[in-house]
Structure 1
Amino acid sequence: MKIALIGYGKMGKAIDAIATAKGHEVILRVDLNNKHLLEKEHLGQADVAIEFSTPETAYSNVMKCFEANVPVVSGTTGWLEKLPEVNAIATKEGKGFLHATNFSIGVNIFFEVNKRLAELMSTQPQYDVRMEEIHHTQKKDSPSGTAITLAEQVLAGIPRKHEWINQESSVEDKLVIISKRIDPAPGTHTVTYTSPIDDISITHTAHSREGFAAGAVVAAEWLKGKSGVYSMKDVLNL
């Protein structure tokens, strides 16, 4: 499989190493210094693109892939307000698009556990719920995309919480997300339910970027040759 890597920071390099080890060919490595390569003549040679760039450039990068008719796997967060528009374009024009806030197989299983726990706790008003996420200091968005996904799942399951807020002090009808930036920290997410009697917590802790990068490569392998809008639930058949 021929891969175009858009965004060549720490995650891009980790994806490069895993994809190459699996026998794929990375034919394009795009960073801030060679953005001119984001043209159809270059992108069009790839079977699939993997995009881990910045919130400011993600939308444009995905559109460039669509123009080149190359399916694109995007893991950039912080631009989620644009996702409905991108999904609509991909559906209308028959482009292949898969976005995830986290490609780790473990995290995607964690998402399913989080949804189920929220459903169970919806009838237990004696429990308050809060979240905490920890990432490295170079993390560009706060809260993380993974934390927002977890929060939206909790809100869907627990009607007494109306929205999430990113602060440390609790508010009765809001889900508090506490964001910490500490080096080194690839990523830890904890959801805690607290009552006067006991606490229930679920936690996912990443030990390295390898799990995220490996999942992105698996998603790219799955998306090759497909059109339409997908998620990691489709890839993992969850």
Structure 2
Amino acid sequence: MKIALLGYGKMGKSIETIALNRNHTISLKVSSATTAFDFSNTDVAIDFSLPTTAVANIKRALDAGVPVISGTTGWLDQYQDILDYCKEKNGAFLYASNFSLGVNIFFEINKRLSELMSDFPEYTTSIEEIHHTQKLDAPSGTAITLAEQIIENTNYNNWTLDQPQPKEILIDAKRIENVPGTHEITYNSEIDAISIKHTAHNRQGFALGAVIAAEWIKDKKGVFSMKDVLNIG
């Protein structure tokens, strides 16, 4: 399979290594300085660029009839626009806040736990996420997904990075050198606390999941998620 890398930072390089090891080739490498986009020899595009360039990168791939998956966060205020654009172009698009198999299992655990806790208002909910200092957005897309799952299943109606108001989930976003990604959800009461936690040891899980998603979406049409790729949930 011929893969275009839309974004060639640390994640892009990790994806390249795994893709080559799985006998794929890299047809295009796009950095912030790239001005020419030639998708003529590309089967699938993988976007791990910047929030400021992701939307344009995704649309360029869809314009060329190339399925595209994106793990870039920080641009989701334009997510519906991309979904509409994908349908208009009869293309294929998959966004995931996190491509790790473990994190996607963690999403399902978080969803189920929030359903169980919905009848117990004496517990307050908070999220802690820790990432490396090079991560540009806060909170992480993964933390936002976790918060949105909790909101969907409980009486919470929003999340915040500041002092939470009633019915708001506090997300404590920390940036520490050389931390690939840690997410912990805690339900705390005067009597006890319940916590679930996912810790990434390196970027390889994210990169592998992105390549697996690219392999899966090839020759498909529509809008998908990692649930479709992994057949979970």
TM-score (norm 1): 0.96
Q: Distance in 2 between matches of 1:88 and 1:170?
A: 34
- Asked if 2 retains the 8 angstrom alpha-carbon contact of 1:2 and 1:48, the reply is yes
Match of 2:14 in 1: 14
Match of 1:179 in 2: 173
Alignment of 1:132-147 (within 5 A): 132-147=128-143
Say whether residues 1:207 and 2:207 are aligned partners. no
SS of match in other structure, 2:209: helix
1:220 equivalent among 214, 227, 232: 214
SS of match in other structure, 2:81: helix
> 1:206: Cα distance to partner?
0.3
Q: Distance in 1 between matches of 2:215 and 2:68?
A: 11
> 1:170: Cα distance to partner?
4.1
Specify the code of the residue in structure 1 equivalent to 2:2.
K
Say whether residues 1:164 and 2:159 are aligned partners. yes
> 1:30: Cα distance to partner?
1.1
Match of 2:62 in 1: 66
| Runs of at least 4 residues off by over 6 Å | none
SS of match in other structure, 1:172: coil
Say whether residues 1:130 and 2:126 are aligned partners. yes
Q: Distance in 2 between matches of 1:166 and 1:234?
A: 31
The alignment's C-alpha RMSD in Å is 0.9
SS of match in other structure, 1:142: coil
- Asked if 2 retains the 8 angstrom alpha-carbon contact of 1:44 and 1:70, the reply is no
1:98-123 CA-partner distances (Å, limit 9, x unpaired): 01000000000000000000000000
Q: Distance in 1 between matches of 2:108 and 2:139?
A: 20
Say whether residues 1:191 and 2:185 are aligned partners. yes
Q: Distance in 1 between matches of 2:158 and 2:21?
A: 43
Specify the code of the residue in structure 1 equivalent to 2:117.
M
- Asked if 2 retains the 8 angstrom alpha-carbon contact of 1:15 and 1:213, the reply is yes
Specify the code of the residue in structure 2 equivalent to 1:152.
E
Q: Distance in 1 between matches of 2:157 and 2:35?
A: 44
SS of match in other structure, 2:35: helix
Q: Distance in 1 between matches of 2:18 and 2:103?
A: 19
> 1:37: Cα distance to partner?
2.8
1:113 equivalent among 93, 109, 112: 109
- Asked if 1 retains the 8 angstrom alpha-carbon contact of 2:59 and 2:85, the reply is no
SS of match in other structure, 2:23: coil
Percent identity between the two aligned chains = 54
Match of 2:3 in 1: 3
> 1:148: Cα distance to partner?
0.3
TM-score (norm 2): 0.98
Q: Distance in 1 between matches of 2:115 and 2:9?
A: 38
Q: Distance in 2 between matches of 1:5 and 1:37?
A: 13
Specify the code of the residue in structure 2 equivalent to 1:163.
N
Q: Distance in 1 between matches of 2:36 and 2:88?
A: 26
- Asked if 1 retains the 8 angstrom alpha-carbon contact of 2:115 and 2:154, the reply is yes
- Asked if 2 retains the 8 angstrom alpha-carbon contact of 1:78 and 1:141, the reply is yes
SS of match in other structure, 1:36: coil
Specify the code of the residue in structure 2 equivalent to 1:202.
I
SS of match in other structure, 2:172: strand
1:176-203 CA-partner distances (Å, limit 9, x unpaired): 0000000110000000000111100000
1:192-236 CA-partner distances (Å, limit 9, x unpaired): 000111100000000000000000000000000111100001000
SS of match in other structure, 1:106: helix
